[in-house]
Amino acid sequence: MNEPKRSPIAPKIIFLASAAFIAVLLIIGFSIAIYNYSTKINWIPHELAEVEYPIKGNHLSIKSVSSGWIPVIDEEASEEETEYIPSAQITLSKDSAAGKMRCFYLDGNGKYVGDPITLDCQVGQFSDSDTVTFTCSQGIGQSSDFFAYQSGFVKEWYLLILEGDSDSASINDYKELTRIKLRPHILAQ
């Protein structure tokens, strides 16, 4: 019996075709990975810009701001289905003049969250201390959402601090003093 002769070129063609197919798959895979990486900016963990202290405005001077999140223990203290609420501690500088400070929390979409707080400031002090701590009435609803916030998979929340003179009554009387990113860690209570 005569067997048909195999061409010596056939195995080379099969090898080259297989290598080309694998190369095309690798190029497609790397292209998808690069596209996903470049369009998922929130995948990068929160980068907290260092704030230069003191923060000086026309009336107020802030010595320091620390922020973070606290777990909700008392369900009645915050809105329904909130597990973590933002908290901030602000310390005034000794050279701060009399005025008013208005603070808002902003969520990852830049929307106001919770109730604003307005504080009267005397020379270098709030009512009886140079430091005040306050929390928001709303926050992040589930632990998984908070862990996503900590990992940088969702947009940052901010503390917006406005200043006004002692007679400021309308929101239009206030000017932005600073906007601080909320740190993605849990504060000790």
Residue 160 near residue 106 (C-beta atoms within 8 A):
yes
Residue 44 identity (one-letter amino acid): I
Q: What is the pTM of this model?
A: 0.71
129, with CB counted inside 10 A (0-12, 13-18, 19+), is exposed
The whole-number pLDDT of residue 106 equals 94
For the segment 36-76, what is each residue's pLDDT rounded down to a tens digit? 665 554 444 444 556 788 999 999 999 999 999 999 876 55
Name the E strands within 23-95: 55-56, 61-71, 84-92
Within 8 A by CB and 6+ apart from 55, the residues are 61, 62, 65, 161, 177, 178
DSSP H helices in 83-168: 143-151
Percentage of the residues of the chain whose pLDDT score is greater than 90 = 44
Residue 9 identity (one-letter amino acid): I
For residue 53, which of 41, 43, 38, 65 has the smallest C-alpha distance?
65
For the segment 84-110, what is each residue's pLDDT rounded down to a tens digit? 999 999 999 999 999 999 999 999 889
26, with CB counted inside 10 A (0-12, 13-18, 19+), is exposed
For residue 53, which of 18, 91, 17 has the smallest C-alpha distance?
91
Residue 98 identity (one-letter amino acid): A
Q: Report, in angstroms and rounded to the nearest whole number, the Rg of the chain calculated over CA atoms.
A: 28
Q: Is the pLDDT of residue 22 over 90?
A: yes
| Helix, strand, or coil (residue 66) | strand
